[in-house]
Amino acid sequence: MLADPSVSAAVADAHRREWAFVLAATVRVTGDLGMAEECVQDAYAQALSTWGDRGVPARPGAWLTTVARRRAVDAGRRDATLRRSLPLLLDDRVDPGPQIADPEEIADDRLRLVFTCCHPALRLEAQVALTLRLLCGLTTAEVAAAFLVSEPTMAARLTRAKKKISGARIPYRVPAAGELPARVDAVLTVVHLLFTTGHTAPVGADLIRRDLVERALDLARMLRALLPRDADVAGLLALILLTDARSATRVGDDGRLVLLAEQDRTRWDRNAIGEGVALVREALRRRPPGRFALMAAIAAVHAEAPSWTDTDWRELVALYDLLVQLWPSPVVALNRAVAVGFAAGIDAGLHALDALAAEPQLAGYAYLPAARADLLRRLGRLSEARTAYEEALLLTQNTVERDFLTARLDKLGQAQAKPGSTHPGPAPSAPR
Amino acid sequence: MAQYLILIYEDEAAWATAGPEGYEQAMKEHTAFGHANGAALRGGNALQPTGTATTVRREPTGSFSVTDGPFVETKEALGGYYLVEAADLDEALAVAKQVPAPFGGVEVRPVQVFD
């Protein structure tokens, strides 16, 4: 029997919205992540048939949780060895009893799951993988595809991470208040990494990986719901909304990269910008503002500028100055230098960029020569610009970005034949 | 509860140049650490430098090779340890952060339980 499309859609929707809630609540019963995953997967499979026969329940999350927990209890009775395996650490494990819990009273344990997945004692790549698998409910194959690794490699990575969680007794618990800011930052780092990987894919044919962007946005929204008073969470959600609001205009119909300066601003997502700007204001109220709030404020300046030329570059430089203090990363300094190039003149920008030339962290970073190339081109120093574009090309693996740099080089060839003609335009390092 | 071994890895060369004042300071800090974490501590020792270490391996032939020096030569070497009892990794890490290790850091390893 084929499943009713409306039922499949309801199950898919519940998968995206409720997976983390159902899994987190089931872990409380199993005390074991892998076992809980299996029970939740079974519950979704059962939903496909049962919802088809009896209709979609009013509260799909509660229905799925009840079914998954019942399976966990049954499996626990059947499999005594389960009890011997090292259980996850719960300070208040629930005994579901014959009735299980009243669905109305199922505690929201998603934050516990979040902090376990993003525990700093796990490798960052493992944190990201666990987040996609356990919080977003992606299959191991889907997580593997997101990282461009084979499925067995990803399965091994997930297994290793789960073994560390139980072996080292990483707790299933929301950290104490004193630990919370550092731990929230670790969580936000994972979500931000997912977003940036999706926003500009490091390798491959597509500039944007929509699947990863959507997951990062879902996660940021979930964290916002769970930690509504956290300014850093507000900042990251704002950053994602404001940056992603431009996504429809970043690649042209012909697949070419379109820089911020040339994007059709009428096609930017104004709803996302409105929501993002309100969140930035809230995030900036905390003193001193956090790094995501400052990055979001920078994105907001671009989002609200009527045009590239009417962008408030001085405000941008001021924001970058604050960001560099808070987060002394050469990549931030590079973006600051580009803004200086517009606020204080090309020479000043080039000066700021050249100060970064010796940064070991920027060796191999394509945006540095690309930004230099652009400033040199605007100064009319065309042969130096050519060398810098060629250097950037050597360091870029994204096809769309490579095509952009190649086109710039070709244009330079024509301009060199016609001395003095330069095209103003931003470097690819400018926010896109 | 579980037990964790906190292994202290430090640069021996830095200790060699720290002088008597450096040792005295370290002794004070470890004593203070011991007082502050007495409830969790189950044991601990400082080790003599790796120059005193002897490594023993069984060869494929069945005989033993006995060599001068530590198992692995590293800039930062195992110089001491604490055995602590903690409810979970977070609690163990909270103790680990207080261990004085001015010339290196510590590694936290859960103790294997056999049942």
Task: Indicate whether B115 belongs to any domain.
Answer: no
Q: Which residue of B has its CA nearest to A178?
A: B94
Judged by CB atoms closer than 8 Å, whether chains meet at A169 and B110 is answered as yes
Q: Structural domain tally of chain B? A: 1
Q: What percent of chain A has pLDDT over 70?
A: 89
Range of the domain at B99: 2-110
Q: Radius of gyration (Cα) for chain A, nearest Å? A: 25
Residues facing B9 on adjacent strands: B78, B105
Task: Tell which residue, A39, A40, A51, has the closest CA to residue A8.
Answer: A51
Mutate to test the interface with A, among B1, B6, B88 (most CBs of A within 10 A): B88
Judged by CB atoms closer than 8 Å, whether chains meet at A89 and B115 is answered as no
What fold does the segment set A312-417 form as a domain?
1.25.40
Q: What is the average pLDDT across A113-121?
A: 95
Residue A64: per-residue pLDDT: 96
Inter-chain CB pairs, A–B, below 8 Å: 26
Task: Indicate whether B104 belongs to any domain.
Answer: yes
- In sequence order, which ranges of A285-379 are alpha helices (DSSP H)? 291-304, 313-326, 330-343, 346-354, 367-379
Integer Cα distance of A394 and A157 in angstroms: 31
Q: What is the CATH number of the domain that holds B76?
A: 3.30.70.1060
Domain ranges of chain A: 312-417
Judged by CB atoms closer than 8 Å, whether chains meet at A169 and B88 is answered as yes
Selecting from A84, A168, A179 the residue whose C-beta is nearest the C-beta of B89 gives A168
| CB contact at 8 A, A195 and A216 | yes
Smallest CA–CA separation between A185 and chain B, in Å? 16
Task: Indicate whether B57 belongs to any domain.
Answer: yes
Smallest CA–CA separation between A172 and chain B, in Å? 10
Q: What is the average pLDDT across A105-130?
A: 92
Predicted-assembly ipTM surpassing the 0.95 threshold:
no
**Which range has the worst mean pLDDT, A83-87, A122-126, A207-211, A402-406?**
A83-87
pLDDT tens for residues B19-56? 899 999 999 999 999 999 999 999 999 999 999 999 99
- Residues in chain B within 8 Å Cβ distance of A84: 115
Integer Cα distance of B97 and B40 in angstroms: 14
Q: What percent of chain A has pLDDT over 90?
A: 63
Task: Indicate whether B34 belongs to any domain.
Answer: yes
Neighbour tally for A69: CB within 10 Å: 26
Decide if pLDDT at A282 tops 50.
Answer: yes
DSSP annotation of A285 reads T
pLDDT tens for residues A338-397? 999 999 999 999 999 999 888 888 888 888 999 999 999 999 999 999 999 999 999 988
**Which range has the worst mean pLDDT, A49-63, A191-205, A253-267, A403-417?**
A403-417
